Structure 1
Amino acid sequence: MPKLSIQISPHFLQALMDVVEPIEQRLHLQVAISLDSVPDDDELLLEAWRDSLLEQLREDGEYLIHLLRKMLSEESLTLTDEEAESTLRAASAIRLKIREVFLSRFSEEALERDQVDMARLGPEERKPYLCFMFLARFQEALVAQLMPDFYDFNELFEEDED
């Protein structure tokens, strides 16, 4: 079970929620990615699949909002593997929307590698960018907990000792 200790200021959390909540509400109406490339030979199957995705996004998004609010009152969070996976899905969907709506002028590589100069961000981009980066680090921490063998931390510490 993933266990995370996160200290977050109420002001930062409010800024985060200002970005996440409206996007999470949008996800109730549409999936985070375009379904244009999905074969539509069977309209009923496509509609059922889309509705299923939307329902899963609703549940995941609501859980992420709940989790972010819990961060104010709890020092550490313990999640089941299923809750962690739900959080990962919601964070991914929200990050995709943030990128599409607010940060489309930046390359995926620049965003993923944290190569965006904060001083060059417009006022309407700052909160979304910070939210994007927070969710990225949050996802990385969850993945490290879910898949500890994926991150060989012993190898990292051995390199530091040289």
Structure 2
Amino acid sequence: MKIFYLLTLLLLLLVQSASGQVAAPVSSTTDTSLVAAKRLTAADTIRAIHRLFKQRRTVGSVLVVSAGTLVAIGLSDVVESGGNAAFFTGASAYAFVTVLAAIYTAPLYIPGLIIRGQYSKKKEAVLIADYNLKRTIPNKYLRKLKPHFFEKPSVK
């Protein structure tokens, strides 16, 4: 049985070493002509900036709403228990649960608020106006503009 496993291992090692020796595929001229034919216009770049900012604002909103939902769930538990939470009753129970929920949901709502601030509509408008004047984008945003932001959305 050991010999079977050793031979199998040897065969796998031989196959693996042979796979690394395969030549890289040669790109055809049609591939480069397609890339050269697709030139981006200023309108394409502005649409891509808009998509980037919209996506990041959505992420920030999801984080903030998730945190708010968790706080609401904690408060609903206090309401169901008749205003009792841990060692507190009445208004102090609501305050206790709110503070505790705010502490536990901080990893969600703080980054969400920061993201929403960094990608606000006001900052988007400033960046687009700046781009229209100078035709340059700061590196901070240029690094985040991936090719999928430039693709036309598919209509379904």
| TM norm structure 2 | 0.33
Structure richer in helix, relative to its length? 2
Of structures 1 and 2, the one with the larger relative CO (CA 8 A, separation 6+) is 1
| TM norm structure 1 | 0.32
